[in-house]
Each structure stands twice: as structure tokens, then as C-alpha cells.
């Protein structure tokens, strides 16, 4: 008689929590994303520049073709970020919408709406800047025969003209984006695919962006963007005050070096240094915009805001937020839960590139100038 023994207890092994990885079967269809973004950017900026020739300030109407190419190129990263946001939102709401390529009217309409929003904001910023320049020109007429009532009437007429330009331009941009997105969809055979479909090749390892990798990439990019903007304004500041030019050269080198240290070494020292090289110039910038720097050719004068200084300040603020988030997660580790997914990391990197490009447009460099060099960066 055989005895039936009790089954041996299963060996309980500690559960190993693996970090979540990004699904490699869904990668970005960059050709489609870049094609949509570039088509909308260059088409929308055509109307922005065209309306400027009709209702804009005379200082900005000398070379429309160059303005169109420059502004379209500088705004291209913003359109790319917008398309990537649509891709992520649609894929999360309708998991098969972005990858299967089936006709999705809702996806196309959302792309049209987001692209139109970017274009209208660009048109509004251009119209507002033109209005400010035109008001300055009207101020010079006060020394002639035009009296107060005449100036008020001219200011009102100028404002109405800019509002009409904004309204007409918004309608034209919306109609143009409808045509552009429909045209791109038709070129793709009616299959608007923002994700690549399929499965990885044999032996292909699915990989994702984990907390450390995503945060490192975004932090380093923010530091590099700030360094680029500071380097771009060196000629402008050096011509006003050589000490300021030397300061911006040193600041750009320090921020670029810190970005390299974050990538190659990481750790608390490099991340803390990143916070310092961002917080110090940001504090100096706030001081110069509220109280005024007590030394230099314009000692004590409060400087005005500009595109480049706001862009650099945004990048430095993003650096401080990232370092703060990193410090908080060191104290409260979340095993297997990445802070930055690949989707978020991609959008963040493109958004930082967009901010840097817009900042370069206000840095005063002749070949990238969007605002006649009125902006100054933090410091």
C-alpha cells in the first residue's frame, strides 16, 4: 500500500518588482508626425506673414519670404510637440486609434484644432507686437499737428485693424489646417497613423525610459537650452557692458558643463549643481526686472521683459522643478513606477526644444530675430 504523502510546500520566492517598460510595439511614426507638423507650421506662418504685410508695423515688412522661412522653422518644434500630445491623448482614450491607421475623423479634427491653436497664438503674438510698434510710431506724431483726440482716434483705428487681422487670420488658419491635415491623410491612403504598428524583431529587447533615464535626459536638455540662450545674447550684452558679456560666457559654459556632468556621472552632486546654476541666474534676473542691477551702464534701471529672458527663465525653472522632483522621489522611492514614461519624456524634450527655439528668436541674433532684439535673458 502506497502512502500518499503531503505535497511539498511551494517555495515562496520574494517578488521582484520590475520597472515598467514602454511597449516597443508602438513607436512614434516620425515621418507622419514631422510631416503634419511641418505642413501646418509653414502653411500657418504664411498667413501670419501675409497679414503682417497688410496690417503690421512697417519695420517688419521688408523681407517677407525670409520672415516666413525663419518663423516657420522656429515654430516647427512647437507644432511637433502639439502633434505628439494629440498622439498620446488619442492612444490613451482609444488604444487602437493611433497605431492601426484606420480612418479616424476625431483624430484628424483634434490635430486641426491643436494646430490652429498654435497658429492663432502665433498670430496673436505677432499682432500684439505690431500694435506696440505702431503705438510707438504714433507717439512721435504728437509733436506735429495731431492733438490728443487725433491720437486717440488713430490708436483706436490701429487696434481695430489688428483685431480684424486676428479674426481673419484665425479663420484662414483653421481652413488651411483642415486642408493640410486632409491632404496629408489622403497622401497616406486615408490611414492617419501616428504610431508604428507591428512587433519587435526576434531578439529585440523592449526598453523604456525609466525614472533616472527620463529625468536625466530632460534635465540635461533644459540646461543645454539655457546655455544656448545665454551664449546667443553674449554679443548684445558685450556691446553694452563687457562685464555682462563675460558673465554670460561663463554662465553658458558652466551650464553646459553641468549638463555633461548630469549625463555622464549623475548623482546628488551633479543634480545639486544643476539646481544652483539655474537658481542663481534666475534670482539675478528677477532682481534686474524688479529692482534693477546696482552696477553697469544702466545702474538701478529696471529692465523690461523679453522673449529670450522668459524662455531662459522657463528652462531654468523647469530645471529646479526636475531637481525638486528628483529629491522628493529619493526620499519617497516608488519601486517599479517611473516618473517619466517615454511618451512624457519625448513631449518634454520637444517642448524644451520649442522653448529654446522661441528664445533664440528673441535673442537679438540678426539671422534668427523675431522681435528686433528686444529681449534679454536672465542674468
| pTM, 2 dp | 0.82
Indicate the number of domains in the chain: 2
- Other CB atoms within a 10 A radius of the CB of residue 58 amount to 10
In order, the DSSP letters of 68-91 are HHHHHHHHHHHHHHHHHHHHHHHH
Q: Are 317 and 282 within 8 A, CB to CB?
A: yes
pLDDT confidence band for 326 (50 / 70 / 90): confident
| Dist CA 325 CA 17 (whole Å) | 22
Q: Note whether 115 and 60 are same-domain residues.
A: yes
Is the residue at 11 inside a domain?
no
Helix axes 242-264, 211-232, angle to 10 degrees: 160
Which residues, including other chains, have CB under 8 Å from residue 115's CB and lie 6 or more apart? 36, 40, 44, 79, 82, 83, 177, 180, 181
Torsion 266-269-275-281 (CA) sign: negative
Is the residue at 14 inside a domain?
no
pLDDT at 197: 62
pLDDT in tens, 259-297: 999 998 878 899 999 999 999 999 999 998 888 888 777
- The rounded mean pLDDT for the chain is 82
Q: Note whether 61 and 133 are same-domain residues.
A: yes
Is the residue at 289 inside a domain?
yes
Look at residue 49 and tell me whether its pLDDT is greater than 90. yes
Grid cell 529696471 is found at 302
pLDDT in tens, 112-167: 999 999 999 999 999 999 998 888 877 665 555 566 667 778 888 889 999 999 99
In DSSP terms, 195 is beta-bridged to 28
Q: Note whether 231 and 260 are same-domain residues.
A: yes
Percentage with pLDDT > 70 across the chain: 78
Lowest-confidence pick of 15-19, 97-101, 136-140, 303-307: 15-19
Q: Note whether 252 and 188 are same-domain residues.
A: no
Among 157, 172, 196, give the residue marking a domain's end: 196
| Dist CA 104 CA 92 (whole Å) | 14
pLDDT confidence band for 319 (50 / 70 / 90): very high
Is the residue at 57 inside a domain?
yes
Q: How far is CA 245 from its chain centroid?
A: 26
pLDDT at 224: 97
In DSSP terms, 28 is beta-bridged to 195
Q: Note whether 134 and 168 are same-domain residues.
A: yes
| Dist CA 31 CA 312 (whole Å) | 30
Q: Note whether 136 and 177 are same-domain residues.
A: yes
pLDDT at 24: 40
Q: Note whether 264 and 364 are same-domain residues.
A: yes
| Dist CA 211 CA 233 (whole Å) | 34
Grid cell 504610431 is found at 195
Which residues, including other chains, have CB under 8 Å from residue 367's CB and lie 6 or more apart? 70
Q: Note whether 139 and 48 are same-domain residues.
A: yes
Q: Are 200 and 349 within 8 A, CB to CB?
A: no
Among 171, 196, 221, give the residue marking a domain's end: 196
pLDDT at 122: 96
Q: Are 84 and 58 within 8 A, CB to CB?
A: no
Among 196, 221, 249, give the residue marking a domain's end: 196
pLDDT at 96: 55
pLDDT confidence band for 312 (50 / 70 / 90): very high
Average pLDDT over residues 168-175: 98
pLDDT at 228: 96
Torsion 114-116-118-124 (CA) sign: negative
Closest CA to 245 of 253, 254, 258, 236: 236
Is the residue at 96 inside a domain?
yes
Q: Are 222 and 318 within 8 A, CB to CB?
A: yes
Is the residue at 2 inside a domain?
no
Largest CA distance in the chain: 124
Look at residue 6 and tell me whether its pLDDT is greater than 80. no
Look at residue 250 and tell me whether its pLDDT is greater than 80. yes
**Is 27 strand, coil or helix?**
strand
Is the residue at 19 inside a domain?
no
Q: Note whether 134 and 242 are same-domain residues.
A: no
Where would I find the H helices in the chain?
A: 30-55, 64-93, 105-140, 148-187, 211-232, 234-240, 242-264, 267-290, 307-331, 342-361
pLDDT confidence band for 9 (50 / 70 / 90): low
Q: Note whether 166 and 223 are same-domain residues.
A: no
Is the residue at 268 inside a domain?
yes
pLDDT in tens, 187-238: 888 888 888 765 444 444 444 444 457 888 999 999 999 999 999 999 888 8
Q: Note whether 191 and 215 are same-domain residues.
A: no
Q: Note whether 112 and 256 are same-domain residues.
A: no
Structural domain boundaries, residue 228: 211-368
Amino acid at each position: 500500500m502506497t502512502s500518499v504523502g503531503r505535497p511539498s510546500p511551494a517555495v515562496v520566492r520574494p517578488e521582484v518588482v520590475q520597472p515598467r517598460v514602454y511597449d516597443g510595439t508602438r513607436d512614434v511614426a516620425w515621418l507622419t508626425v514631422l510631416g503634419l507638423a511641418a505642413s501646418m507650421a509653414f502653411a500657418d506662418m504664411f498667413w501670419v506673414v501675409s497679414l503682417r504685410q497688410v496690417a503690421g508695423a512697417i519695420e517688419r515688412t521688408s523681407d517677407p519670404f525670409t520672415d516666413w522661412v525663419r518663423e516657420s522653422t522656429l515654430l516647427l518644434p512647437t507644432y511637433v510637440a502639439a502633434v505628439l500630445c494629440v498622439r498620446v491623448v488619442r492612444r490613451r482614450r482609444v488604444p487602437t486609434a493611433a497605431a492601426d491607421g484606420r480612418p479616424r475623423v476625431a483624430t484628424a479634427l483634434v490635430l486641426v484644432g491643436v494646430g490652429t491653436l498654435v497658429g492663432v497664438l502665433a498670430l496673436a503674438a505677432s499682432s500684439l507686437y505690431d500694435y506696440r510698434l505702431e503705438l510707438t510710431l504714433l507717439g512721435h506724431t504728437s509733436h506735429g499737428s495731431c492733438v490728443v483726440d487725433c491720437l486717440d482716434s488713430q490708436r483706436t483705428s490701429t487696434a481695430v485693424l489688428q483685431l480684424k487681422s486676428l479674426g481673419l487670420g484665425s479663420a484662414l488658419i483653421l481652413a488651411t489646417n483642415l486642408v493640410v491635415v486632409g491632404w496629408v491623410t489622403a497622401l497616406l491612403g486615408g490611414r492617419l497613423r501616428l504610431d508604428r504598428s507591428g512587433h519587435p524583431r526576434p531578439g529585440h529587447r523592449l526598453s523604456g525610459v525609466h525614472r533616472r533615464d527620463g529625468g536625466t535626459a530632460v534635465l540635461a536638455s533644459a540646461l543645454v537650452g539655457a546655455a544656448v540662450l545665454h551664449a546667443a545674447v553674449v554679443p548684445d550684452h558685450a556691446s553694452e557692458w563687457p562685464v555682462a558679456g563675460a558673465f554670460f560666457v561663463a554662465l553658458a559654459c558652466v551650464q553646459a558643463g553641468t549638463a555633461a556632468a548630469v549625463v555622464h556621472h549623475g548623482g546628488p552632486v551633479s543634480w545639486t549643481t544643476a539646481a544652483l546654476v539655474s537658481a542663481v541666474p534666475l534670482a539675478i534676473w528677477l532682481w534686474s526686472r524688479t529692482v534693477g542691477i546696482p552696477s553697469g551702464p544702466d545702474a538701478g534701471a529696471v529692465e523690461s521683459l523679453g522673449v529670450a529672458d522668459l524662455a531662459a527663465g522657463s528652462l531654468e525653472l523647469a530645471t529646479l522643478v526636475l531637481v525638486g522632483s528628483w529629491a522628493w522621489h529619493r526620499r519617497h522611492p516608488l519601486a517599479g513606477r517611473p516618473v517619466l514614461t517615454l511618451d512624457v519624456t519625448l513631449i518634454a524634450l520637444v517642448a524644451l526644444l520649442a522653448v529654446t527655439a522661441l528664445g533664440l528668436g528673441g535673442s537679438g541674433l540678426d539671422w534668427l530675430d523675431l522681435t528686433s532684439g528686444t529681449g534679454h535673458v536672465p542674468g
